[in-house]
C-alpha cells in the first residue's frame, strides 16, 4: 500500500511539475513579448515626435531641435537613445555620451525591430524607420534599455516558480491524505487476507507492520489454498462414507445371523439403524458429487452451472426419466459458484425425489437480486407442513431415502447470503415450489 501511495504521489508530482513547467516557460516567453510590444508602441511615438523636430538648414545640414525631445534623451546614460542619419550626417542623442551605439540605417519606407547593445552593455530594444524629409532620405532609430524589464521578468518568474513549488507540495500532501483515507479499507483487506493465509481467524490482524496491498499472485494462492482445503474436506467426507460401508455391510450380515433369529426385535433394530446410516451415507455422497463441480470464488454463470448439474441429477435419478425445463440467465453473476452449486444441488435433489416427471427451474435477476425458483409435479404439501419443512431432520415421507437435511441446508445457505426462502404450491405443475431470493454483490 505504501508503494502504491508513493507511485500515485510521484505521478501527480510529475504531472504538476510538467504542467507548471510548461506554464512557466510560456510565461517567460510571452511576458517579455507583450512588454516589448508595448515598448515598441512608445518608441514609435518617440520616432514620430523626433521626425517633427528634424529639419535641414540652408546648407543642407541635418538639424534636430532637442528642446522638443523628452528629457530622457538629454540625460546621460538614461537608457533612452536615438540616432538620426541622412547621407553623411549623423546625430546621436546626448544621453549616449561618448559611448558608441550601433543602430542600423534604414531606407525610406523601411521599418525594423531589433536588439542591440548600448552604453555600458545595456540591452536595447530598437525601433527603426526610414522616411523622406525635404526630399532627403532620413533613417531614424530609437532604442530603450531592457535591463529593468529583464529584472522584473526574472523577479516575477522566481516568485511564480516558488508559488508553483508550494502548490505542488500542498497538492502532494493533500493527495497523500486523501489516498491514505481512501485506501484504508484495502489496508484492512490486506491484513485479513494475510491472516487467512496464515490460518488465523477473521479479524485477528497479525499483519499491522506491513502496509502492502496483496499481489494478484498472493490472492490467487490464497484462493487455491481455500479450494484445496475444501476439496480435502469433501474428499474426507467421501472417504469416511466409503470406509463406513464395509462395517455397515457387516452389520447387515450380523442382523441376519441365526444367532439373532431368536431375537427378531434386536435384529430389526440393527437393520433399521444400519439402513438409516446407509441412507445418510448415500445422501452425503450425492451432495458431494453435486456440489463438487464448482471452484472457490469462480464467477457464476447460472445457465452454464445448471447445464452440468441437471445432467448429473438426471443420471442419479435415471430410473425416473425426469424432464427438466431450465430458464436461466446466461451472463456472469457476482455470486459464489460453490454456494450456488450446493444450493441448487440440494433443491434439485429434493425436487427429483418427489417429482413424477417434470421439474422446472427459473433463475433470473430482479431489483438487483438473484431469484431462483424450482418447481416439481409431485404431491406437494399443505400450508401446515410448509411451516416446518425446512427444520433439520423433518421428513414428510419416511419411506423415501434421506434424513430431511436438504431444505434445512438450503435455508442455512440462503441466510448466509442474507436472502429469503419461500415455499409454496406450484400453480403450473401442482407440486412444491421453492423460491430463493439471494443478495448478490454489485458488478
* pLDDT at residue number 377: 93
Predicted local confidence at residue 17, as pLDDT: 85
- Residue 389 sits in a domain of what CATH number? 3.30.565.10
Residue 190 and residue 235 in one domain: no
Q: Are residues 10 and 57 in the same domain?
A: yes
Same domain, 248 and 352: no
Q: In terms of domains, do 195 and 247 share one?
A: no
Q: Range of 189's domain?
A: 185-214
Q: 26 and 59 share a domain? A: yes
Question: Residue 422 CB: number of other CB atoms within 10 A?
Answer: 11
Q: Give a yes or no: residue 366 inside a domain.
A: yes
Residue 10 belongs to what H/E stretch?
A: helix 2-52
Q: What nine digits make up the cell of 2?
A: 505504501
What is the pLDDT at residue 357?
92
Same domain? 22 vs 118: yes
- Please check whether residue 156 lies inside any domain of the structure: no
Q: In terms of Cα–Cα distance, which of 125, 119, 134 is closest to 63?
A: 134
State how far the Cα of 46 lies from the Cα of 281, in Å rounded to an integer: 111
Do residue 227 and residue 141 come from a single domain? no
Is position 164 within any domain?
no
Per-residue pLDDT in tens (0 to 9) along the chain, 443 residues: 567 777 777 888 888 888 888 888 887 788 888 888 889 999 999 999 888 888 888 888 888 888 777 888 888 888 899 999 998 888 898 988 888 888 888 899 999 999 999 888 889 999 999 999 888 899 999 999 998 888 888 888 888 888 888 888 888 888 888 887 877 777 776 677 666 656 555 444 444 444 555 566 666 776 777 677 777 776 677 677 767 766 777 777 777 777 777 777 877 888 877 777 777 777 666 666 555 554 444 568 999 999 988 998 888 888 988 999 999 999 988 888 878 888 888 899 889 988 999 999 999 998 888 999 999 999 888 777 777 665 544 444 433 444 344 577 788 788 878 889 888 899 999 999 999 998 876 55
Do the domain assignments include residue 175? no
Specify if 158 maps to a domain.
no
Chosen domain end from 95, 130, 150: 150
CA pair distance 172, 394, nearest whole angstrom: 64
Last-in-domain residue among 231, 263, 292: 292
What is the DSSP pairing of strand 62-64 with strand 54-56? antiparallel
Helix (H) or strand (E) holding 376: strand 369-376
State whether 301 and 199 are in the same domain: no
Give the number of domains in the chain: 4
The Cα–Cα gap between 241 and 245 comes to: 7
**Both 300 and 430 in a single domain?**
yes
**277 and 317 assigned to the same domain:** no
Among the candidates 193, 214, 235, a domain finishes at 214
- Complete edge-to-edge strand list for the sheet that includes strand 358-366: 323-328, 358-366, 369-376, 432-439, 420-425
Tell me how far apart the alpha carbons of residues 193 and 203 are, in angstroms, rounded to a whole number.
10
In this structure, the number of other CB atoms found within 10 A of the CB of residue 342 comes to: 20
Quick check: 198 and 206 in contact, CB under 8 A? Answer: yes
In a domain, residue 131? The reply is: yes
For the full predicted model, state whether its pTM sits above 0.85: no
- Number of CB atoms found within 10 A of residue 382's CB: 9
Any residues with CB less than 8 A from the CB of 59 and at least 6 apart, and which?
none
Per-residue model confidence (pLDDT) at position 398: 38
The single-letter DSSP state of residue 215 is P
Same-domain status, 50 and 101: yes
pLDDT at 144 (0 to 100): 92
Tell me, yes or no, whether 106 lies in a domain.
yes
Residues 197 and 143 in one domain: no
Is 157 within the bounds of a domain? no
CB-based burial, 116-125: b 16+ in 10 Å, e otherwise: bebbeebbbb
Amino acid at each position: 500500500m505504501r508503494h502504491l501511495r508513493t507511485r500515485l504521489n510521484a505521478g501527480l508530482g510529475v504531472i504538476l511539475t510538467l504542467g507548471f513547467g510548461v506554464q512557466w516557460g510560456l510565461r517567460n516567453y510571452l511576458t517579455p513579448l507583450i512588454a516589448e510590444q508595448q515598448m515598441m508602441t512608445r518608441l514609435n511615438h518617440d520616432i514620430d515626435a523626433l521626425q517633427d523636430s528634424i529639419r535641414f538648414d540652408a546648407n543642407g545640414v541635418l538639424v534636430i531641435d532637442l528642446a522638443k525631445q523628452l528629457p530622457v534623451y538629454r540625460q546621460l546614460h538614461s537608457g533612452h537613445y536615438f540616432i538620426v542619419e541622412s547621407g553623411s550626417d549623423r546625430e546621436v542623442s546626448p544621453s549616449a555620451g561618448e559611448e558608441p551605439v550601433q543602430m542600423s540605417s534604414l531606407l525610406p519606407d523601411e521599418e525594423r525591430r531589433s536588439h542591440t547593445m548600448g552604453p555600458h552593455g545595456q540591452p536595447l530594444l530598437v525601433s527603426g524607420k526610414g522616411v523622406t524629409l525635404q526630399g532627403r532620405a532620413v533613417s531614424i532609430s530609437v532604442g530603450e534599455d531592457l535591463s529593468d524589464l529583464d529584472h522584473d521578468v526574472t523577479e516575477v518568474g522566481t516568485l511564480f516558480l516558488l508559488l508553483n513549488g508550494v502548490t505542488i507540495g500542498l497538492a502532494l500532501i493533500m493527495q497523500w491524505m486523501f489516498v491514505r483515507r481512501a485506501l484504508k479499507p484495502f489496508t484492512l483487506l490486506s491484513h485479513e487476507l494475510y491472516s487467512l493465509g496464515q490460518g488465523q481467524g477473521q479479524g485477528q490482524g497479525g499483519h499491522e507492520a506491513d502496509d502492502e496491498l496483496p499481489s494478484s499472485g498472493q490472492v490467487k494462492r490464497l484462493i487455491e489454498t481455500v479450494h484445496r482445503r475444501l476439496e480435502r474436506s469433501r474428499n474426507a467426507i467421501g472417504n469416511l462414507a466409503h470406509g463406513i460401508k464395509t462395517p455397515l455391510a457387516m452389520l447387515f450380515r450380523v442382523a441376519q445371523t441365526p444367532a439373532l433369529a431368536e431375537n427378531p426385535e434386536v435384529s430389526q433394530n440393527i437393520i433399521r439403524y444400519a439402513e438409516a446410516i446407509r441412507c445418510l451415507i448415500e445422501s452425503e455422497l450425492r451432495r458431494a458429487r453435486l456440489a463438487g463441480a464448482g471452484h472457490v470464488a469462480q464467477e457464476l454463470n447460472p445457465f452454464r452451472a445448471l447445464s452440468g448439474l441437471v445432467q448429473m441429477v438426471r443420471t442419479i435419478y435415471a430410473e425416473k426419466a425426469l424432464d427438466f425445463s431450465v430458464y436461466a440467465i446466461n451472463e456472469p453473476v457476482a455470486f459464489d459458484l460453490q454456494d450456488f452449486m450446493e444450493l441448487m444441488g440440494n433443491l434439485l435433489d429434493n425436487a427429483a425425489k418427489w417429482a413424477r416427471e417434470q421439474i422446472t427451474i427459473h433463475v433470473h435477476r430482479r431489483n438487483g437480486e438473484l431469484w431462483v425458483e424450482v418447481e416439481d409435479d409431485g404431491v406437494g404439501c399443505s400450508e401446515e407442513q410448509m411451516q416446518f419443512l425446512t427444520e433439520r431432520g423433518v421428513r414428510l415421507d419416511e419411506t423415501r431415502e434421506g434424513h430431511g437435511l436438504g431444505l434445512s441446508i438450503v435455508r442455512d445457505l440462503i441466510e448466509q447470503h442474507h436472502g429469503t426462502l419461500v415455499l409454496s404450491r406450484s400453480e403450473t405443475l401442482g407440486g412444491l415450489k421453492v423460491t430463493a431470493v439471494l443478495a448478490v454483490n454489485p458488478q
